[in-house]
């Protein structure tokens, strides 16, 4: 009797054992990974203050960010979870430390941070191509870009992707992509030997090469519009981590099943996403995401703080010198200076016009990188506002030429935050939709005449075709020899205290 029942009992035990072991088997077939990310640091290695509804608060600081990263890595190691640290471009240009030392402090800090990969941003070329190559060699992590090539050879300038093993059988691959704005948002001479290929086609090509290895993440320094197009064309991406727009993408956006994230700017947030990967299918899934504030509640990592301090001491007291004061807030907030007239834009354009004797002065809003708070103004403040070594040039343009420049200036929407939008002096106009109308010149506001020739002051950056003004390239010009930043310093000393206003130079019918 026992013998007859034994096979039945064994069968039952096997079924029960299978049910018990199934979750364990499934767990063994799963692996996890965490990606930590940030974008558009623009040289902000030190903490800085921002204005909020609760008053001014201190945020950022790469030493604090490293403390946060280390704590997450430590917790993940205890659970056998792979952690990657990624940068979505534009580490350079925006502070005296980054500008004076041409990105060396930035790369030194990111080496010590343990960055795993970075996609190339447009401002990585601001100190020239040779400097870009030198930084690329100094970095202990790969610079990625699947769409920047040498014109002459057609070869990629950087590796298109990097794969990271997250288990014995699965790798997580990061593809890098760079904005087509590269050709116009750094000095054209810096990238004259390079071409930027179509982002969608480049990502599709790279994805096909690596999709068999495991989940694929795109690290993009491009417009959100481009990221959406890529997500639509490459639905197999597990996520897109963006940059360039400098927005906090909260909540995240989704195109189909592809989530798109972006962690604002200047290291004020550390982005985090957690993935689960099926070891059998090698498919990945986004489980959770967060933007972690980097603020003064976080202790500074001593090793990173020492690197920053060393470079700060090299700068010395020179940049802390007070050169004057302003009685008003000088407005270069990105969402305003790139869409409407601001008092800082007016003041900069005015000193360009008055110091050159020009009829009209034009400054691309992308040149104005930071506001200045009311109170004392230091050289450090000025370098943050104007980090670029721009020289003022004079060009003789017809009224028709100026209308063409205004057509370029107002083509974008508020959401575009277009650096080619112009701040002006000696010029008045109304924006209706994407058209500049009722254009007037001078203090007496005389209608602009198409056939009249005007002396126009602008930066050498614009004259070389920067920020979309390629139609100016090759036109006769006069180099004034006046660096705009130094002119700003002199004007602050002479005019202090400052109190510029908006005057209705640019009127929007759809503000």
3-state DSSP: the chain helix, strand, coil percent, rounded to 5?
Answer: 35, 30, 35
Q: Which residues contact 7 (CB under 8 A, 6 or more apart)?
A: none
Say if residues 455 and 357 touch (Cβ distance below 8 Å).
yes
Q: What angle do CA 306, 307, 312 make, to 5 degrees?
A: 95
Q: pTM of the prediction?
A: 0.81
Q: What angle do CA 47, 423, 506 make, to 5 degrees?
A: 125
Question: How far, in Å, CA of 180 to CA of 121, rounded?
Answer: 10
Nearest to 36 by CA among 85, 87, 88: 85
Say if residues 497 and 327 touch (Cβ distance below 8 Å).
yes
The per-residue pLDDT string of the chain (511 residues; one tens digit each, 9 = 90 and over) reads 344 454 454 444 433 333 333 343 344 467 899 999 999 999 999 999 887 787 888 999 999 999 999 999 999 999 999 999 999 999 998 889 999 999 999 999 999 999 999 999 999 999 999 999 999 999 999 999 999 999 999 999 999 999 999 999 999 999 999 999 898 888 888 999 999 999 999 999 999 999 999 999 999 999 999 999 999 999 999 999 999 999 999 999 999 999 999 999 999 999 999 999 998 899 999 999 999 999 999 999 999 999 999 999 998 888 989 999 999 999 999 999 999 999 999 999 999 999 999 999 999 999 999 999 999 999 999 999 999 889 899 999 999 999 999 999 999 888 888 999 999 999 999 999 899 999 999 999 999 999 999 999 999 999 999 999 999 999 999 988 888 998 999 999 999 999 999 999 999 997 6
Nearest to 461 by CA among 318, 365, 376: 365
Phi and psi angles of residue 384, each rounded to the nearest 5 degrees, phi first: -65, -40
Nearest to 419 by CA among 86, 236, 181: 181
Question: How far, in Å, CA of 365 to CA of 367, rounded?
Answer: 5
Question: How far, in Å, CA of 329 to CA of 333, rounded?
Answer: 11
N- to C-terminal Cα separation, the chain = 91
Please give the structure tokens belonging to residue 364: 């691309």
Phi and psi angles of residue 389, each rounded to the nearest 5 degrees, phi first: -90, 70
Say if residues 124 and 92 touch (Cβ distance below 8 Å).
yes
Q: At 148, which helix (H) or strand (E)?
A: strand 148-150
Q: What angle do CA 293, 299, 300 make, to 5 degrees?
A: 100
In the chain, the domains with their CATH numbers are 7-311 (3.60.21.10), 323-508 (3.90.780.10)
Chain centroid to Cα 316, Å, comes to 28
Angstrom CA distances, 162 to 142, 144, 196, 282, stand at 8, 8, 20, 17
SS3 506: strand
Q: What is the DSSP letter of 53?
A: T
For the CA atoms of 368, 372, 378, 383, the dihedral, rounded to the nearest 10 degrees, stands at -20
SS3 504: coil
Say if residues 93 and 43 touch (Cβ distance below 8 Å).
yes
SS3 292: strand
SS3 66: helix
Say if residues 462 and 469 touch (Cβ distance below 8 Å).
yes
């Amino acid at each position: 009797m026992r013998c007859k029942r034994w096979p039945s009992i064994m069968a039952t035990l096997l079924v029960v054992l299978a049910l018990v072991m199934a979750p364990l088997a499934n767990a063994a077939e799963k692996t996890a990974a965490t990606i930590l990310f940030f974008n558009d640091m623009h040289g902000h290695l030190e903490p800085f203050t921002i204005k909020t509804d609760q008053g001014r608060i201190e945020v950022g600081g790469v030493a604090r960010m490293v403390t946060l990263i280390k704590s997450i890595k430590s917790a993940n190691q205890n659970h056998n979870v792979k952690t990657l640290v990624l940068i979505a471009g534009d580490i350079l240009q925006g502070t005296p430390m980054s500008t004076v030392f041409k990105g060396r402090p930035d790369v030194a800090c990111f080496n010590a941070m343990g960055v795993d990969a970075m996609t190339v941003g447009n401002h990585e070329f601001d100190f020239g191509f040779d400097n870009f190559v030198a930084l690329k060699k100094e970095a202990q992590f790969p610079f990625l870009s699947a769409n920047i090539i040498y014109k002459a050879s057609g070869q990629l300038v950087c590796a298109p992707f990097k794969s990271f093993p997250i288990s014995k059988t699965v790798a997580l691959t990061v593809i890098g992509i760079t904005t087509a704005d590269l050709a116009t948002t750094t000095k054209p001479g810096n990238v004259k030997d390079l071409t930027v290929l179509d982002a969608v086609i480049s990502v599709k090509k790279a994805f096909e090469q690596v999709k068999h290895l495991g989940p694929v993440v795109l690290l993009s320094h491009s417009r959100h519009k481009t990221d959406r197009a890529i997500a639509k064309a490459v639905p197999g991406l597990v996520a897109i981590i963006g940059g360039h727009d400098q927005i906090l993408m909260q909540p995240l956006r989704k195109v189909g099943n592809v989530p798109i994230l972006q962690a604002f700017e200047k290291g004020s947030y550390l982005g985090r996403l957690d993935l689960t990967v099926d070891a059998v299918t090698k498919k990945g899934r986004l489980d959770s995401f967060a933007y972690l504030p980097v603020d003064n509640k976080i202790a500074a990592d001593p090793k990173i703080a020492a690197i920053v301090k060393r470079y700060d001491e090299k700068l010395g007291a020179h940049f802390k010198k007070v050169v004057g004061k302003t009685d008003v807030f000088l407005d270069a907030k990105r969402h305003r200076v790139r869409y409407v007239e601001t008092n800082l834009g007016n003041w900069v354009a005015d000193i360009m016009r008055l110091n050159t004797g020009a009829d009209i002065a034009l400054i691309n809003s992308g040149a104005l990188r930071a506001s200045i708070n009311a109170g004392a103004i230091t050289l450090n403040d000025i370098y943050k506002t104007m980090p670029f070594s721009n020289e003022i040039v004079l060009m003789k343009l017809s009224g028709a030429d100026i209308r063409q420049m205004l057509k370029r200036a107002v083509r974008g929407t508020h959401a575009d935050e277009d650096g080619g939008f112009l701040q002006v002096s000696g010029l008045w106009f109304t924006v209706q939709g994407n058209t500049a109308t009722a254009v007037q010149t001078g203090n007496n506001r005389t209608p602009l005449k198409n056939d009249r020739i005007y002396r126009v002051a602008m930066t050498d950056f614009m004259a070389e075709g920067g920020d979309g003004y390629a139609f100016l390239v090759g036109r006769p010009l006069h180099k004034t020899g006046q660096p705009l930043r130094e002119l700003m310093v002199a004007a602050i000393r002479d005019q202090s205290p400052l109190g510029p206003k908006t005057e209705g130079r640019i009127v929007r019918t759809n503000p």
